Amino acid sequence: MRSRIRSSERIGWLALALAIAGVASAEEPARWLERMNHALTTLNYDGTFAHWEGGKVEMLRIIHRVADGTVSERLVSLDGSGREFIRTGASLTCYLPDKHVVLVERTPAKVSLLSGFPAIDEQTARFYDIKEVAHMRFNRRGTHVITVMPRDQYRYGYRLWIDDSTAMPLKTQLCDANGNVIEQVVFANLKVRSHIPDSAFRASISTTGFQWLRNDSPPLKDPVTAGGTVWNAAQLPPGFHMTVRAAQTMPGSPGPVDHLVFSDGLASVSVFVETHVEATSGQAVVESARVGSSYAFSTVVDGHKVTAVGEVPPETVRFIADSVKAEKASDFAPPPADLPPLPGGPFAHSPRPH
């Protein structure tokens, strides 16, 4: 009898140990994602990487520094267009030599040009499977290979090779629901430095004869139309909710443009509503297009052009754009107006030649 009790006790303790190990193994990939985000936003680093998308490859250099609480970054195209993007705090300057234009705009101070990976929480994890699938050598470094794969057709997934020692992502892949690679970033070299001088954040090109465009006015919070209405999505894909409602000026638009952002905590879709568009209510699709690794879809609602764009499958941007309607402002609590950059990670401004 005693041996049976001891055996059952051993089985019970073994089951408990396996259960605890299972919880730990499920939490560990999320911890590596947190460490990666922390590294991307707090370390000083300088690296070159290859960006592959749509059968095209471009080499770029990223320099990142945090000094006295201010983030400075410089992203440079090493071939092709020769474009440069320099960020200091909330100010982003885009040098576009192929267009002879310099664009200055605001960007959230916490958003990196080498885009960080949103934190995975309990809500987000409902729509993604998060696993560590391997521990392997990559580019002569030990890495944890983490996958974040969607549970439905409304979002993309990721594969990430995270460096053991620095927690920096040495390789990242954006994947569709079938695991096919849409976009890939691979570091050829990456160095973490204790000090990076100010000179590293100066543009290397002459801007003589360039046109300077500024779009650095702050967003207008809680936009409400003259009729006391706001724009909102009547229906959203599972897990998505509004995170931003604001209005901002945009080049080429005669007036403020309403800007809505819908997110599941990982993927996000920006919606722009132009308030002065000559269009007939009920008009069909204006356009549908792929923009890098993002999709854009436009339609017309009550005489307003509604454009949704995001690094998500095409059916997601169409779903959201078709659901946007003007509704009573009193029915909604205003979300924050800290606007993120356009979808597309570090390539939102497309350093590739057009």
Residue ranges of domains in the chain, CATH in brackets: 39-213 (2.50.20.10), 218-331 (3.30.200.100)
50, 59 Cβ separation under 8 angstroms: yes
d(CA 316, CA 195): 43
Single pTM value for the model: 0.79
Residue 15's H or E segment, with its range, is: helix 2-42
d(CA 89, CA 353): 26
CA distance 269 to 14: 46
Q: What is the pLDDT along the chain (354 residues), one digit of tens a residue?
A: 444 445 555 555 544 444 444 444 557 898 999 999 899 999 999 999 999 988 889 999 999 999 998 999 999 999 878 899 999 998 999 999 999 999 998 877 667 787 656 667 777 888 999 999 999 999 999 999 999 999 999 999 999 999 999 999 999 999 988 889 999 999 999 999 999 999 999 999 999 999 999 876 655 555 555 457 789 999 999 999 998 888 776 666 667 789 999 999 889 999 999 865 555 444 555 688 888 889 999 999 888 899 999 999 999 999 999 999 988 766 555 555 454 444 444 344 333 322
Q: Residue 51 and residue 57: Cα distance in Å, rounded?
A: 5
C-beta atoms surrounding 112 within 10 Å: 20
